[in-house]
């Protein structure tokens, strides 16, 4: 694809801009900022990957994967409840495990090789899926603790510990985090052709080989999503309680409820 063709394709953004202006949707600024950020970030990423591919040093490769995990963890902070603390480290642990275990598995089985052009894209997908799942889990935890505050306190008053009293909230939060991934997987091959498979086919890879690689990605990113959401949720719910097994930030929760 030529740069000119890419620039002309970018003109398609004029349509949502015009619609936003006429309908007073007030999204023009956000759209422009998001587009500019995407262009700048992807160009920088392209140069970084070009450097990493040429150097081909394992420690640089692992460092880049670590940067992906750190960045994904950092982007979950804004989604957490104000009563939560150490959000970054909770997310980091969850995403690190969610990325490291599936990635190690596919390398050991020979599904992918320890090469930049294979490891980095897969690690990026795993980190991104883990981040999205954790964001959904955090949002649902915050919402459900407000919604179910009275029921949780009633269970605590009857002698239940925090885990038992908030079991439904934990379960709903994990489910909320992973359902979009499961629903997306259900439509592969019927409603949509996954991005990884599309890229491989456009790049000249045989369709059946592209399918194999895409299925591998489905297996590991589903695993990473569930693991990340599960770990983050179980490390987070206790922060809504104090050492005496009482809900903390009750006034804050009340304000949100109102």
Task: Transcribe 9-43 into DSSP letters.
Answer: HHGGGHHHHHHHHHHT---HHHHHHHHHHHHHHHH
Q: What's the length of the chain? A: 258
Yes or no: say if 28 and 21 are a contact pair by the CB < 8 Å rule. yes
pTM over 0.85: no
Neighbouring-strand partners of residue 192: 188
The position carrying tokens 């079991």 is 167
Report pLDDT for 242: 66
Out of 71-85, 138-152, 168-182, 240-254, least confident range: 240-254
Q: Is 44 exposed, middle or buried (0-12, 13-18, 19+ CB in 10 A)?
A: exposed
Give me the helices (H) in the chain, please. 3-10, 14-23, 28-55, 58-74, 87-108, 116-147, 149-157, 162-165, 167-186, 195-202, 207-236, 250-257
pLDDT digit string, tens, across residues 28-38: 888 888 889 88
**Mean pLDDT computed over 138-163:** 75
Structure-token pair, residue 199 = 């890229």
Q: How do the domains of the chain map onto residue ranges?
A: 1-55, 57-257
Q: Which 8-state DSSP code applies to residue 192?
A: B
CA 99 to chain centroid:
11
pLDDT in tens, 97-148: 999 999 999 899 888 888 888 888 888 889 988 999 999 988 888 787 777 6
- H or E element: which one contains 113? none
The token duo for 71 is: 């960045």
Cα gap 131→74, rounded to integer Å: 9
């Amino acid at each position: 694809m030529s740069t000119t063709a890419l620039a002309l394709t970018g003109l398609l953004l004029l349509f949502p801009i015009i619609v936003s202006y006429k309908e007073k949707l007030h999204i023009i600024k956000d759209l422009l900022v998001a587009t500019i950020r995407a262009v700048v970030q992807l160009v920088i990423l392209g140069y970084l990957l070009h450097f990493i591919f040429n150097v081909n040093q394992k420690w640089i490769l692992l460092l880049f994967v670590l940067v992906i995990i750190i960045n994904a963890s950092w982007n979950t902070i804004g989604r957490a409840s104000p009563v939560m603390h150490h959000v970054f480290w909770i997310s980091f642990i969850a995403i690190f495990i969610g990325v490291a275990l599936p990635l190690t598995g596919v390398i050991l089985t020979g599904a992918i090789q320890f090469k930049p052009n294979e490891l980095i894209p897969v690690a990026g997908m795993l980190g991104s899926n883990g981040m999205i799942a954790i964001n959904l889990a955090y949002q649902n935890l915050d919402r459900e603790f407000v919604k179910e505050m009275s029921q949780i306190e009633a269970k605590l008053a009857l002698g239940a510990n925090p885990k038992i009293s908030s079991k439904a909230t934990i379960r709903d939060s994990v489910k909320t985090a992973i359902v979009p991934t499961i629903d997306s997987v259900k439509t592969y091959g019927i409603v949509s052709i996954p991005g990884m498979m599309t890229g491989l086919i456009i790049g000249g890879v045989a369709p059946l080989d592209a399918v194999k690689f895409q299925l591998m990605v489905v297996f590991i990113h589903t695993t990473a999503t569930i693991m990340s959401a599960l770990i983050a949720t179980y490390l987070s719910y206790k922060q809504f309680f104090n050492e005496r097994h009482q809900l903390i930030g009750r006034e804050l929760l009340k304000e949100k409820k109102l």
